[in-house]
Structure 1
């Protein structure tokens, strides 16, 4: 039943958002660590393409049951921000943190809406 709903895509998005939250937290915690290189989460471009191509029926997403989480955490070895070799930009991290919090809140609301629909369909109370 759940594999034919958007819940699988929502779950994948929540997992990616949690991974991004962890990477941002590590970056902020290591802001003054000499030589530390920022981590970032890179999402598969296929996710957005598949969601747009199959927007009328999310159950057609072929990767929902695969082991591929749709993202990976990588180290950003490009450049330095501080004299100690660290490349964490606090302004960038705080901006990413805010954006990611909004994404997570939106995804949890979408999951809540799906469960409310199930409850309504199954004859439960609405609201």
Structure 2
């Protein structure tokens, strides 16, 4: 039943957002670490591809699930390399942190709305 709803997409997006939160936290924690290279999570493109694959698969079998996480962690080449070899830009990281927090809150609200719809449909 849940494979036919947006809940699986919301779950994957929330997992990716949490991974991004962890990467941003690590970047902020290592802002002064020599030779540390900032990390970022790339998940939107992979998530979109996975969702399209699931839609095609669910047309054939509604219980098909994907094993992909929907995101990957890569080295961020955004910041300029400092004298100590570190490329973490604290302003960029704080901006990403705020953006990711808002994104996660929106996903939480979307999940809540899905559960409210289930409750309504089930007569609650």
Fold in common (TM above 0.5): yes
Instruction: Show CA shifts across 1:51-105 (max 9, x none).
Output: 6xx7xxxx72649821111110112367643210000000110111111011100
Distance 1:7 1:43 in 2: 17
- 2:8 is paired with a residue whose SS is helix
In structure 1, runs of 5+ residues without a counterpart are none
Give the helix-richer structure, 1 or 2: 2
Count residues in correspondence: 118
TM-score normalized with structure 2 length = 0.83
In structure 2, runs of 5+ residues without a counterpart are 59-63
TM-score normalized with structure 1 length = 0.82
Could you tell which deviates more after superposition, 63-72 or 111-120?
63-72
Distance 1:117 1:78 in 2: 41
Distance 2:94 2:70 in 1: 24
Distance 1:32 1:39 in 2: 14
Distance 1:41 1:84 in 2: 24
